[in-house]
Amino acid sequence: MLAIKTYVSLKKMNTFGVESIAKELLCVKDRGMVVEWATQCKKESKSVVVLGQGSNILFVGDFDGLILVNQIEGCQVVREENDWVWVKVGGGESWDDFVERCVVSGWHGLENLSAIPGTVGAAPVQNIGAYGVELESAFQKLNAIDLSTGEELEFDKEACQFGYRDSIFKIKYNNRLFITDVTFRLAKKFVPNFIYADLKKHFSAAEPVTADQMRNAIVGIREVKLPNPKVLGNAGSFFKNPILSRKQFDKLNVDFPGVAHYFQTEGTVKVAAGWLIDQCGLKGYRSGSVGIHDKQALVLVNYGGASGAELLGLAKYIIQTIRERYGITLEIEPKILSV
Ligand code: EPU
């Protein structure tokens, strides 16, 4: 018999810290529980959503369905070669604890993804990325359970269809899969990744950089720009950086010289949404209990007691402002869960 709780507050289970009551909630400790639910109990629940640490979700109102909280633990080396190690990690493990463990163990490639809130199982869904690295660069495969059938599925890298903050789990399999574990291929030799321009400035050119130093530098950079969700409710970047055609970008750059941007290999140009919002004078904007972070305009914050609807209202205001000024429609990045 599965221990499904009823009418549970999600306030402490989302990093925005907004109140929402879930009709049902099940803490999943192992694969068997998901299979049992999918094959025996599913019909009783209206809709189902998988939750990790709630760091990339906005609850708008109460949730009239079942929340499956991924608490599957475990971390083991499953294969080793001269230069590489393959590590399988439970989907419910904390992402940053795993990155720290990698650094301590001499498994490399994820250092630049330090201090990102959330779980290992949620990381492939949005192909987490920061400071020049995306999860897909070290991803090998994952196992998941199809919630509509209880069937166990394996996805290799190609099957995941990773993109910028995107994967097949966001589109085709939205709310349909429970990711039980993820396997990474990590390097035994550390090669620092300085693609993100500001990173190099942290180190003197003469000294070789260690993995530990890289992790500490990333943690430091994030601490300066991004609010700690334990202090100020937020879900990191609230919008994706829009990707424009070269033609659209050239026009934007004439109308708004200095727009922060990154050329993409496909010939498109990614524009910094934080810059667009900032240039509208909105950084630090506050309306009641919600606002735009004063050090990173891409981050919406809950000053305390805000509802999901208020945060969504602010997001809509930003989208409208950006559209009117630049003719660009921003896309919301976190999952919005509304009834
Ligand atoms: N900028 C401004 N004003 C702002 C914010 C940014 O002018 O208020 C400018 C910066 O000066 C810089 C550019 O915009 O020239 C980019 O800013 P930043 O380096 O802070 O990165 P970002 O593009 O805003 C992305 C990710 C972050 C990730 C950083 C670092 C997205 C949606 N966000 O932000 O990811 O940490 O790059 O790699 O791609 C997240 O997804 O939650 C997240 C925090």
Kindly report the CATH number assigned to the domain that includes residue 141: 3.30.465.10
131/236 same-domain check? no
93/43 same-domain check? no
* Total count of domains within the chain: 3
Name the phi and psi angles at 330, rounded to 5. Answer: -75, 145
59/195 same-domain check? no
86/155 same-domain check? yes
What's residue 171's pLDDT?
A: 86
Question: Is 333 among the catalytic positions?
Answer: yes
Q: To test ligand 1's pocket by mutation, which of 275, 293, 333 has the most ligand atoms within 8 angstroms of CB? A: 275
32/123 same-domain check? no
CB of 16 shorter than 6 A to ligand 1: no
Residue pLDDT, tens place only, 25-65: 999 999 999 999 998 876 665 699 999 999 999 999 999 99
Report the nearest atom of ligand 1 relative to the CA of 240: 32
Q: Measuring from atom 2 of ligand 1, which residue has the nearest CA?
A: 275
Determine the Cα–Cα distance for residues 305 and 290; give it in Å rounded to an integer: 9
Among 28, 46, 70, residue at a domain's last position: 70
Q: To test ligand 1's pocket by mutation, which of 237, 240, 322 has the most ligand atoms within 8 angstroms of CB? A: 237
240/291 same-domain check? yes
What's residue 44's pLDDT?
A: 62
pTM score = 0.96
29/50 same-domain check? yes
Which residue range(s) make up the domain with 258?
A: 228-338
Residue pLDDT, tens place only, 103-142: 999 999 999 999 999 999 999 999 999 999 999 999 999 9
Residues of the chain under the 50 pLDDT cut = none
Among 189, 206, 223, residue at a domain's last position: 223
Contacts 24+ apart (CB under 8 A), 190-194: 190/106, 190/108, 190/111, 190/214, 191/108, 192/111, 193/111, 193/112, 193/131, 193/132, 193/133, 194/132
Report the nearest atom of ligand 1 relative to the CA of 236: 42
Question: Is 165 among the catalytic positions?
Answer: yes
9/34 same-domain check? yes
241/165 same-domain check? no
What's residue 309's pLDDT?
A: 98
